[in-house]
């Protein structure tokens, strides 16, 4: 198997998770790391199995011709700066979600990726959570029948502290419905096999980070909301997000309600259920995820499978699964939902050029 030399730019929480998972993947070698924070860089170097070269400057890493592929895991607002420099290398890139914080930037990236026929994957790894992948398979093979309603609930803890607290502000993140909910909007498109037409939403910041101050500024990041999309195929999908819900049985509950059955995924317990309409019986399946993979991060084993898929795409053995187009469309749904909540009106996706 060809060894793939990887360069990782941004070695914070998610950079660590990439390193831990590449350590487990055969044929992957973390060869270079770049981060402006010396402490994070040293920790990342220590957890890498392959004694990578390190730099405090991503341009030094980009000039390393021995690298075969790049991973970008800097803060959301910074992706576009790295991408402007990295895309011209022609090397395969795995870029963390959200692709960028504005639609002008995601559009420019998807256009360049298409024009130059680049291998480019967006880190929307929820598709790769083993239990969610099982739910998606069941819906795709018709277990639920035609899915009229998709409900996605995330009830969790507040945003974690980040290096230089970048995630406390809309300007740095793109806003909560872009920053974290792009995962769920990507899942809506995938599970329903259709594109969104319009959205209504209500969201805001009511509990979290209100007593914090950074350089004299109080965080403005939203911590809860609902967003309801109508899709081209007539289905509707709802996101229910609460980030002051530490006391929840399940951090994520996804339910696809079809004319035949209800298929549900419960995380982090890795449970998939099938609810029969005729008998009202609910069959429950526990999805096994090996400990080694579960322990290599915080995403129920998703990063392992995502990065494995990226390596296959780099080797030319498989198509990219989450494309720049997917990244653009997920950000567009987040931007639309934020507009709908802020302006208290229905937003049509055509307003965003989709």
Ligand X SMILES: NC(=O)c1ccc[n+]([C@@H]2O[C@H](COP(=O)([O-])OP(=O)(O)OC[C@H]3O[C@@H](n4cnc5c(N)ncnc54)[C@H](O)[C@@H]3O)[C@@H](O)[C@H]2O)c1
Binding site for ligand X (CB under 6 A): 9-15, 34-37, 40, 58, 73-76, 78, 96-97, 123, 125, 162-163, 299
Give the nearer residue to ligand X in terms of CB position, either 22 or 231.
22
Please report how close the Cβ of residue 202 comes to ligand X at its closest, in angstroms: 24
CB of 14 to ligand X, least distance (A): 3
When the beta carbons of 75 and 219 are compared against ligand X, the nearer one is 75
Q: Give the angle 333-338-344 at the CA atoms, nearest 5°.
A: 120
Distance between CA 188 and CA 133 in Å, rounded?
13
Shortest distance, CB of residue 183 to ligand X, whole angstroms? 6
Do the Cβ atoms of 341 and 201 come closer than 8 Å? yes
Q: Shortest distance, CB of residue 11 to ligand X, whole angstroms? A: 5
DSSP 3-state of 167: helix
Return the number of the residue (55 or 205) whose C-beta is nearest ligand X: 55
Q: Dihedrals φ, ψ of 239, to 5°?
A: -105, 135
Query: Which CB atom, from 1 or from 160, has the smaller least distance to ligand X?
Result: 160
- Which is closer to ligand X, CB of 76 or CB of 119? 76
Nearer CB in complex with ligand X: 58/304 = 58
Q: Is residue 305 within 8 Å of 131, Cβ to Cβ?
A: no
Rank residues 113 and 122 by Cβ distance to ligand X and give the closer one. 122
Q: How many helices (H) and strands (E) does the chain have?
A: 12, 15
Q: How far is the CB of 1 from ligand X (least distance, A)?
A: 25
Smallest separation, CB 40 to ligand X (Å): 4
Write down the least CB distance from residue 268 to ligand X, Å: 13
4 CB-contact burial (10 Å; exposed 0-12 / middle 13-18 / buried 19+): buried
Residue 271 to residue 265: CA distance in whole angstroms: 6
Return the number of other C-beta atoms located less than 10 Å from residue 219's C-beta.
Answer: 20
What CA–CA distance (Å, rounded) separates 346 from 87? 36
313 vs 347, beta carbon nearer ligand X: 313
Q: Whose Cβ is closer to ligand X: residue 52's or residue 258's? A: 52
Residue showing the smallest CB distance to ligand X in the complex: 12
CB of 334 to ligand X, least distance (A): 12
CB of 75 to ligand X, least distance (A): 5
Where does the chain have alpha helices with state H?
13-24, 38-47, 58-62, 79-86, 103-115, 130-140, 170-173, 176-179, 182-192, 291-294, 302-314, 324-343
Q: In what order do the strands lie in the sheet with 271-276?
A: 282-286, 271-276, 261-267, 252-258, 147-155, 236-242, 224-231, 196-204, 347-348
Report the run of H or E that residue 54 belongs to, with start and end: strand 53-55
């Amino acid at each position: 198997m060809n060894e793939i030399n990887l360069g990782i730019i941004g070695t914070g929480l998610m950079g660590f998770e990439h390193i831990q998972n590449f350590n487990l993947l055969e044929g992957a070698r973390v060869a270079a790391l770049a981060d402006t924070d010396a402490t994070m860089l040293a920790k990342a170097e220590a957890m890498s199995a392959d004694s990578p070269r390190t730099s405090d400057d991503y341009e030094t890493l980009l000039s390393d011709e021995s690298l075969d592929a790049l991973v970008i895991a800097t803060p959301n607002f910074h992706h576009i700066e790295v991408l402007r420099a990295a895309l011209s290398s022609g090397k395969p890139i795995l870029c963390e979600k959200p692709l960028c914080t504005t639609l002008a930037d995601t559009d420019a990236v998807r256009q360049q990726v298409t024009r130059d026929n680049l291998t480019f994957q967006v880190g929307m790894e929820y598709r790769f959570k083993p239990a969610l992948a099982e739910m998606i398979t069941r819906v795709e093979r018709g277990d639920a029948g035609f899915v009229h309603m998709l409900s996605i609930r995330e009830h969790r803890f507040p945003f974690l502290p980040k290096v230089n607290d970048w995630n406390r502000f809309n300007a740095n993140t793109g806003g909560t419905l872009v920053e974290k909910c792009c995962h769920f909007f990507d899942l809506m498109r995938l599970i329903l096999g259709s594109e969104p037409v319009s959205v209504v939403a209500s969201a805001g910041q009511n509990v979290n980070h209100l007593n914090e101050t950074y350089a004299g500024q109080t965080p403005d990041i939203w911590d809860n909301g609902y967003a309801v999309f109508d899709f081209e195929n007539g289905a509707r999908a709802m996101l229910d997000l609460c980030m002051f819900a530490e006391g929840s049985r399940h951090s994520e509950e996804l339910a696809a309600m079809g004319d035949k059955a209800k298929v549900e995924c419960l995380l982090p317990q890795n449970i998939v259920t099938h609810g029969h309409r005729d008998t009202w019986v609910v069959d429950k399946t526990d999805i096994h995820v090996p400990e080694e993979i579960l322990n290599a991060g915080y995403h129920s084993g998703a990063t392992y499978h995502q990065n494995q898929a990226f390596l296959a795409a780099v080797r030319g053995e498989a198509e990219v699964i989450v494309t720049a187009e997917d990244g653009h469309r997920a950000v567009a749904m987040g931007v639309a939902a934020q507009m709908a909540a802020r302006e208290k009106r229905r937003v049509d996706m055509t307003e965003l050029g989709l």
